[in-house]
Amino acid sequence: MEKQEILLVNQHTKVLVPASSYNMQDDGRLLIPFTSGDKIGFVDKDGAIVVKPQFTMYYGDCYDESDNIRVSVDRLYGFVRGGGRVATYKRPMYGLINYKGETIFDPSFYSLIPAIGNKKLYTVQDRNLGYAVLNTGGTEVVRLGKYSWIDGFDNGLARVRIGNVTNGQNENGDKWGLIDENGKEILPLEYDSIWTFYGKKRFTTKVVKGNVACDVILSELLDKDKTQEKDNHSDFYDANDYGTNYGEYAGSYAQDLEGYSDDVIDDAFDGDPDAYWNID
d(CA 25, CA 254): 50
User: Are 210 and 239 within 8 A, CB to CB?
Assistant: yes
Under the banding of pLDDT at 50, 70 and 90, the label for residue 280 is very low
225 shares its domain with 156: yes
What's the number of domains the chain is made of? 2
115 shares its domain with 227: yes
User: Are 111 and 59 within 8 A, CB to CB?
Assistant: no
Report the chain's mean pLDDT, rounded to a whole number.
84
115 shares its domain with 221: yes
d(CA 143, CA 179): 13
Q: How does pLDDT run across 19-49, given as a tens digit for each residue?
A: 889 999 999 999 999 999 999 999 999 999 9
d(CA 158, CA 133): 10
Mean pLDDT along residues 115-123: 97
Under the banding of pLDDT at 50, 70 and 90, the label for residue 247 is low
d(CA 266, CA 226): 31
pLDDT for 40 equals 98
User: Are 137 and 124 within 8 A, CB to CB?
Assistant: no
Q: At residue 15, does pLDDT exceed 50?
A: yes
* Domain-located, residue 48: no
d(CA 239, CA 275): 24
201 shares its domain with 214: yes
CA atoms within 13 A of residue 62's CA, in its CB half-sphere: 23
d(CA 84, CA 63): 51
Q: At residue 238, does pLDDT exceed 70?
A: no
Higher-pLDDT residue of 203, 225: 203
Question: Is 0.85 topped by the overall pTM?
Answer: no
Under the banding of pLDDT at 50, 70 and 90, the label for residue 87 is confident
155 shares its domain with 222: yes
Q: At residue 91, does pLDDT exceed 50?
A: yes
Under the banding of pLDDT at 50, 70 and 90, the label for residue 89 is confident
User: Are 68 and 96 within 8 A, CB to CB?
Assistant: yes
Higher-pLDDT residue of 58, 5: 58
Which among 164, 51, 159, 172 is positioned nearest to 100, based on CA atoms?
51
* Domain-located, residue 118: yes
d(CA 255, CA 263): 11
Under the banding of pLDDT at 50, 70 and 90, the label for residue 164 is confident
Mean pLDDT along residues 49-59: 97
HEC string of the chain equals CCCCCCCCCCCCCCCCCCHHHCCHHHCCCCCEEEEECCEEEEECCCCCEEEEEEECEEECCCCCCCCCEEEEEEEEEEEECHHHCEEEEEEEEEEEECCCCCEEEEEEECEEEEECCEEEEEEEECCCCCEEEEECCCCEEECCCCCCEECCCECCEEEEEEEEEECCEEEEEEEEEEEECCCCEEEEEEECEECCCCCCCCCEEEEEECCEEEEEEHHHHCCCCCCCCHHHCCCCEEHHHCCCCCCCCCCCHHHHCCCCCHHHHHHHCCCCHHHHHHCC
185 shares its domain with 276: no
249 shares its domain with 199: no
Under the banding of pLDDT at 50, 70 and 90, the label for residue 138 is confident
Which among 149, 137, 228, 153 is positioned nearest to 186, based on CA atoms?
153
pLDDT for 226 equals 45
212 shares its domain with 151: yes
pLDDT for 4 equals 72
- Count of C-beta atoms within a 10 Å radius of residue 158: 26
* Domain-located, residue 120: yes
156 shares its domain with 253: no
Give the distance from CA 102 to its chain's centroid: 23
229 shares its domain with 114: yes
pLDDT for 84 equals 81
Q: How does pLDDT run across 193-219, given as a tens digit for each residue?
A: 999 999 999 999 999 999 999 999 999
Containing domain of residue 258, as a range? Answer: 245-280
131 shares its domain with 197: yes
Instruction: Spell out the residues 6+ positions from residue 4 whose beta carbon is closer than 8 angstroms to its own.
Output: none
